[in-house]
Structure 1
Amino acid sequence: MSVELNHTIVGARDKQVSAEFFGTIFGLEVGEPAGPFVPVATANGVTLDFANVPEGAEIAPQHYAFLVSEEEFDAIFGRVQEAGLTYWADPARRREGEINRNDGGRGVYFLDPDGHYLEIITRPYGSGDPE
């Protein structure tokens, strides 16, 4: 059996709000709550299970990167812009309001409501010419 990522838990202040934000921006369906989680599944079957952190607890921001097609990039990036979200071309957040062209594709970073760093790319890193 090969090793595959099945799911990961995403800490949130309000799991429903965070799952709906993610589902809306990425154009994915938010699943029915399952125990303490609100799941959102990606096309390759990986589920992001949004869960509330304990009251008063800090959320440790995580980085979640998604490989998308050119068409999906256009749609997702359009929703990012429509929502008025700040976005960057780089993970250090120095190139605000730009996208990158790494490896001959396109990429952009933005934050979810809990400060998790979301990234969409159209080419895997190392697959082409760097910008």
Structure 2
Amino acid sequence: MTAQLDHTIVHSSDRFASARFLTGLLGEPEPGAYGPFATVPLGNGVTIDYADSIVDRDRIVMQHLAFLVSEDEFDGIFSRIVERGLPYWGGPEHQEPQQINHRHHGRGVYVDDPDGHSIEFITHPYVKEE
């Protein structure tokens, strides 16, 4: 298959606040603007496009975004999470509060963005069990 993900749209209560939350953790510059979106470009050419939701914040459906990062990038991201006093978890359902995990031959951490979207940072792709 030759299909590649180009972009995904994430609904938010404030597109630039949500995009800045992500770029801030990643240590990247300010998000861009493209039409009604605040855009966060990623290293593989994919963009995360944040859109202001046309529904109430309470009706925004949570999404899960997982980012594969290097060990050095993880160190930087994790230090920014701690510096900001953000709650974080070692598990996807808020298990292991204020811990990182060491699953799949790497490290991982989960944090919620301002709208409750689950953001995961991992240093190694998931190992598929045969």
Give the structure-2-normalised TM-score: 0.92
Contact 1:87 1:98 in 2 (8 A): yes
> Which residue does the alignment assign to 1:105?
106
> Structure 1 residues 76 and 127 mapped into 2: Cα distance closer, same or farther (>3 Å)?
farther
Q: Secondary structure at the match of 2:38?
A: strand
Q: Give how far 1:127 is off.
A: 6.7
Q: Secondary structure at the match of 1:88?
A: coil
Q: Give how far 1:31 is off.
A: 3.7
Equivalent residues, number: 128
Following TM superposition, where does structure 1 have runs of at least 4 consecutive aligned residues deviating by more than 3 angstroms? none
> Which residue does the alignment assign to 1:19?
19
Q: Whole-Å Cα distance in 2 between the matches of residues 15 and 79 of structure 1? A: 21
Structure 2: gaps spanning 5 or more residues: none
Q: Secondary structure at the match of 2:95?
A: coil
1:10 aligned partner, one-letter code: V
Matched, 1:54 2:36: no
Q: Whole-Å Cα distance in 2 between the matches of residues 93 and 56 of structure 1? A: 24
Structure 1: gaps spanning 5 or more residues: none
- Listed one character per residue, the Cα deviations across residues 21-79 of structure 1 (whole Å, up to 9, x for unaligned) are 11111122334311110100011111000100015251101000010000000000111
